[in-house]
Amino acid sequence: MIKNKEHLEAFENRLAAEEKVDFFKNFIIYEALWRQAILLGILPLKNPYDGVEEDIRLAGILSRLPQRDDTTAHV
The mean pLDDT values, 10 residues at a time, for the chain of 75 residues are: 90 92 96 97 90 95 86 56
- 38 within a domain of the structure (yes/no): yes
The structural domain count of the chain equals 1
Contact 75, 5 (CB under 8 A): yes
Phi first, then psi: give them for residue 48, nearest 5 degrees: -60, -20
Q: What is the pLDDT of residue 35?
A: 97
Contact 2, 8 (CB under 8 A): yes
With left for phi above 0 and alpha for psi between -120 and 50, is residue 40 left, alpha or beta?
A: alpha
Expressed as residue numbers, the domain containing 26 is: 5-65
Q: Does the residue 46 lie in any domain?
A: yes
Provide the sign of the torsion angle of the four alpha carbons 45, 47, 48, 52, taken in this order.
negative
Q: Is residue 13 in a domain?
A: yes
Residue 50 domain flag:
yes
